[in-house]
């Protein structure tokens, strides 16, 4: 005779497996939504803090000193150039740098670059050795305003290459550019 197959048992096992897969996908979606909501809230808090800045020095302080905590990051650096001058600011303070360094840093960036790294971007300064994930946001302004780079970094390696993250970061960069213009234009 032949072998008797248990179709019902096989069908039930297959359905259980599919339900488990759907449940896992659902949990992933919920986790993403919660994370995205948290990111939106953090960006809103960062923008509100920038809007409260009482001058360009205070804005740079907010970006480099307050934003790491607000955004859950380990390092934030801002590099700007205008005419033949350039500067870089981070948690350790502000330094003047060669304009070409900042220009080269933004040359290959179109909007936002999100990536995991072995070592952070040189504009992070001393924190570069600790950075394992970074977001580099190009800041474009028409002369006489400065252009440059906003660099956000964290020690924890993380794959954050999402379209939604890029849109939020582009918004954050646009706010920074406009706030700088607010304090530099009469």
Residue 41 is predicted with a pLDDT of: 85
Angle at 65 between CA 75 and CA 164, to 5 degrees: 55
Mean pLDDT, all residues of the chain: 84
* Greater model confidence, 139 or 8: 139
Predicted confidence (pLDDT) per residue in 116-127, tens digit = 999 999 999 889
CA 69, CA 52: separation in Å to the nearest integer? 17
CA 130, CA 124: separation in Å to the nearest integer? 10
Structure tokens at 82: 């205008």
Residue 5 is predicted with a pLDDT of: 61
Predicted confidence (pLDDT) per residue in 87-112, tens digit = 999 999 999 999 998 999 898 898 99
| Residue 28 scores a pLDDT above 50 | no
Residue 12 is predicted with a pLDDT of: 76
Q: pLDDT confidence of 22, banded at 50, 70, 90?
A: low
Angle at 181 between CA 43 and CA 48, to 5 degrees: 25
* Greater model confidence, 42 or 2: 42
CA 90, CA 134: separation in Å to the nearest integer? 14
Q: Out of 15-19, 24-28, 71-75, 178-182, pick the least confident.
A: 24-28
CA 71, CA 93: separation in Å to the nearest integer? 19
Residue 27 is predicted with a pLDDT of: 56
**Contact between residue 85 and residue 99 where contact means Cβ atoms under 8 Å apart:** yes
Angle at 160 between CA 154 and CA 163, to 5 degrees: 135
Please give the backbone phi and psi of residue 3, each rounded to the nearest 5 degrees, phi first.
Answer: -95, 140
134-172: burial string, b at 16+ Cβ within 10 Å, e else: bbbbbbebeeebbbbbbbbbbeeeeebeeeebbebbeeb
């Amino acid at each position: 005779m032949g072998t008797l197959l248990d179709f019902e048992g096989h069908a039930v096992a297959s359905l259980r497996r599919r339900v488990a897969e759907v449940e896992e996908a659902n949990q992933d979606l919920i986790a993403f939504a919660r994370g995205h909501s948290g990111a939106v809230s953090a960006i809103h808090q960062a923008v509100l803090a920038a809007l409260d800045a009482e001058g360009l020095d205070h804005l740079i302080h907010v970006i480099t000193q307050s934003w790491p905590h607000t955004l859950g990051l380990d390092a934030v650096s801002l590099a700007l150039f205008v005419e033949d001058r350039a500067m870089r600011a981070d948690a350790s303070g502000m330094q003047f740098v060669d304009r070409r360094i900042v220009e080269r840093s933004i040359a290959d960036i179109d909007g936002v670059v999100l990536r995991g790294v072995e070592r952070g971007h040189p504009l992070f300064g001393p924190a570069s050795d600790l950075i394992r994930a970074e977001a580099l946001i190009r800041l474009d302004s028409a002369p006489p305003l400065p252009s440059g780079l906003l660099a956000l970094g964290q020690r924890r390696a993380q794959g954050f290459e999402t379209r939604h993250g890029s849109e939020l970061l582009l918004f954050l960069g646009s706010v920074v550019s406009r706030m700088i213009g607010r304090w530099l234009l009469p």
